[in-house]
Structure 1
Amino acid sequence: MIHEQCLKMNKIKYKSAEKQLLTEAIKLLSSQTGSRVKELALPNGNEANARITIALAGVEHHFNVAIKGEIRQNQVLDLIAQFGKNKDQWLLIARYIPKPLKDNFKSLGINYLEAAGNCYIQAKGIFIYVADQKVTPTREAATGKLWNATGLKFMMAVINNPALLNASYREIATAAGIALGNIGPLLDELQQGGYTNTKGNVERLVSRDKLITRWTEMFHAIIRPKLQKGRFRFLRTENAATWQDINDTDIYWGGEPGAALLTGHITPENFTLYSGKPGNELLKLLGMVPDNNGNIVLLDKCWGTLPGAAPGTAPALLIYADLAHGLDSRNKELAERIKTTYLNGE
């Protein structure tokens, strides 16, 4: 009774949807782990949305809670700043967190709890890690076909080259590397989602920044993990210095080397490479050897005839996505420069 009165006396900093998410998430956490989870009064002046206590195996810990819907890459730095040095006293509760971001949070020691039940919670005397719960059907349905693997390839083509919106279905399919029968439904969904409009007889993309941000997140969550062939390193130092001299029509640089070719403002430290060539052939051609901690990431080519932004590069959207996804501020600045120069819709 006293607990309930205290909650009423303090201003609760969440909306009804956030309240529902909080209630569902802590109930699921309790049932999955056998922990006791309760909401606490939120002290005046506390910037959290809520405050909870988790008791497990005789240990109890209080957490400030930040409640979010879907976590986007562009929110990560703000969350790190919000949690600060006291990150073990914070818990992020979200409707959905893309797997790459969950991995980032775990490596940074940021506690999170997803509506599906996946979580990483580590504080003094408490450690809970759940990573095998499927995303809820409600959340999956919200993404639509536009945001599955085929749709993302289609989106990569039209974001890189908006003129394709006014091309034949066959041209779009060939550029994206997907079956012809997908194009009509995907164009319809793009229009119904409010991502295009028509001026005269010309179809145009709108909300480009929103599309690019969303595409980047979904690419890293859905497509990229399936593309990665492994990590490697150059066998000799001179190979790293002469990477630009490699002349092959089926090698496409993304990430830092792609940015180097487009802007000239970076000397790559980490290499991202897309190719349709067999792995053994690439190892010999590039002078690479397998290394789980290597600075070269090799990925399968995931588009059709869509050209790169410059000879030897992957499409500009891929280079942007490679750079924007991490936490390196220099790479984020380069990503914005590439977006402005190569993804401005002209």
Structure 2
Amino acid sequence: MKEQDILLPALERLTEIAGVTAKILSYPSGRGRNSDAIIELTKGQQTSILEADVKTEVRTATLDNIISRQQQTDGKRILITKYIPSPMKGELRKQNICYIETSGNCYIETRSMFVLISDQKSTQPKHNEDTKLWAPAGLKFLFAVLQEPDILNTSYRNMAYASSVALGNVGNFISEMKRDGYIIMGTRLEQPILLLDNKTALIDKWADMYRTVLRPKQLVGKFRFAKKEDRANWHEYTAQSGDIRWGGETAGAILTGHLVPEVYTIYSNSDRFELMRRLRLVPSATGDVEILRPFWNEDTAEPGDGTVPPMLAYAELISSLDSRNREIALRIKEKYVG
């Protein structure tokens, strides 16, 4: 049973490093099953029974389903998996969803028990040797293709330039897209051409992978506004600073007018200290301002309202577990992404 290959090592590791005794009470079966296992956790005199969702990998859709089931049932749920990206761990804790990694990192909060471990080394699963498409360079290439599918019918050199990736990678990326059903052959004016297929599924997978694979590499740091009035007037910096692109919730606010940001996301290639001086920012590990480096070729990006390309704004918002962000993401998709 595949679930046991993850569940048993995770529970054994939890017992080893946290002193929590774990017992598997049952494996629900049948079409109506609501979990992969029912487990009992005991620490000292305290015992909790939880419904376990055992997953080989974690996607936003996975977390949506877990949250939905927890809201519909009285039972406390726990996610057990090999690896959870750090951003998703934070969102799980916000939603009060317990989790255990096979490394032993965990968050368990019930009426009778609290355990939080985050110092165990946890390694993200490596991409297969024949799979480069979901590594950082592949995500850059996919972003360019999703922005302008017709570049698939231009030269490899042009595709490399448009996506800011090495020329030698382009052929491999296209081969993988064909293999995975994202590119099909078509005709235009009786000439064979490459067509993008399954675009919606590709965008949603790209959004998940961007958040966990590429976005952390682009992060410069976290900050806070020095004064409350600077936060209140954040949008004024769009007009003043052509080298700033707003992303995430701030892009959602600009593109729809229906969101008040709680996190202020800035994409810029400018020197961080210059940005700090100009926007009056102060470094803060828990700050609500984040600065990231753009990864796309800005020479090929269409000018907008001071925001990142709408597909990136959609991706950042739809891969969030915040329901209000996801609602705004769908508005952006309908109006700008298609």
| Percent pairwise identity | 33
Aligned position for 2:223: 231
**Alpha-carbon separation, structure 2, partners of 1:247 and 1:106:** 36
Matched position secondary structure for 1:147 = coil
Q: What amino acid is aligned across from residue 285 of structure 1 in structure 2?
A: R
Aligned position for 1:22: 7
1:39 pairs with 2:17: no
Q: What amino acid is aligned across from residue 313 of structure 1 in structure 2?
A: T
**Alpha-carbon separation, structure 1, partners of 2:19 and 2:27:** 24
Provide, for residues 29-52 of structure 1, a one-character-per-residue CA deviation record: whole Å limited to 9, x for no partner. Answer: 344545432211479998433211
- Per-residue deviation at 1:276? 0.4
Aligned position for 1:213: 204
Provide, for residues 251-302 of structure 1, a one-character-per-residue CA deviation record: whole Å limited to 9, x for no partner. Answer: 2121233234434444545421101000122233334444455433211112
Unaligned segments of structure 1, at least 5 residues: 1-15
- Per-residue deviation at 1:89? 3.4
Q: What amino acid is aligned across from residue 113 of structure 1 in structure 2?
A: I
**Alpha-carbon separation, structure 2, partners of 1:162 and 1:293:** 39
Total equivalences in the alignment: 327
1:108 pairs with 2:100: no
Residues 126 and 36 (structure 1 numbering): CA distance in 2 closer, same or farther, change over 3 Å?
Answer: same
Q: Please tell me whether the aligned partners of residues 127 and 134 of structure 2 are also in contact (alpha carbons under 8 angstroms).
A: no
Instruction: Return the match for 2:59 from 48, 68, 72.
Output: 72
- Per-residue deviation at 1:73? 1.5
- Per-residue deviation at 1:146? 1.0
TM-score where L is the length of structure 2: 0.82
1:310 pairs with 2:307: no
**Alpha-carbon separation, structure 2, partners of 1:114 and 1:302:** 30
Q: Please tell me whether the aligned partners of residues 255 and 272 of structure 1 are also in contact (alpha carbons under 8 angstroms).
A: yes
Residues 131 and 339 (structure 1 numbering): CA distance in 2 closer, same or farther, change over 3 Å?
Answer: farther
Q: What amino acid is aligned across from residue 275 of structure 1 in structure 2?
A: S
Aligned position for 2:80: 93
- Per-residue deviation at 1:53? 1.8
Unaligned segments of structure 2, at least 5 residues: none
Aligned position for 1:301: 294
Aligned position for 1:8: none
Greater Cα shift, 237-246 or 216-225: 237-246
1:127 pairs with 2:115: yes
Aligned position for 2:264: 271
**Alpha-carbon separation, structure 2, partners of 1:230 and 1:336:** 27
Q: Please tell me whether the aligned partners of residues 253 and 312 of structure 1 are also in contact (alpha carbons under 8 angstroms).
A: yes
Please report the RMSD computed on the Cα atoms of aligned residues, expressed in angstroms: 3.1
Aligned position for 2:234: 240
Matched position secondary structure for 2:234 = helix
Provide, for residues 96-148 of structure 1, a one-character-per-residue CA deviation record: whole Å limited to 9, x for no partner. Answer: 433211121134332112345432223324525245333475x6439931111
**Alpha-carbon separation, structure 2, partners of 1:143 and 1:17:** 24
Aligned position for 1:282: 275
Instruction: Return the match for 1:170 from 142, 148, 157.
Output: 157
TM-score where L is the length of structure 1: 0.81
Q: Please tell me whether the aligned partners of residues 262 and 309 of structure 1 are also in contact (alpha carbons under 8 angstroms).
A: no
Residues 308 and 126 (structure 1 numbering): CA distance in 2 closer, same or farther, change over 3 Å?
Answer: same
**Alpha-carbon separation, structure 2, partners of 1:36 and 1:268:** 42
- Per-residue deviation at 1:199? 0.8
Aligned position for 1:6: none
- Per-residue deviation at 1:23? 3.4
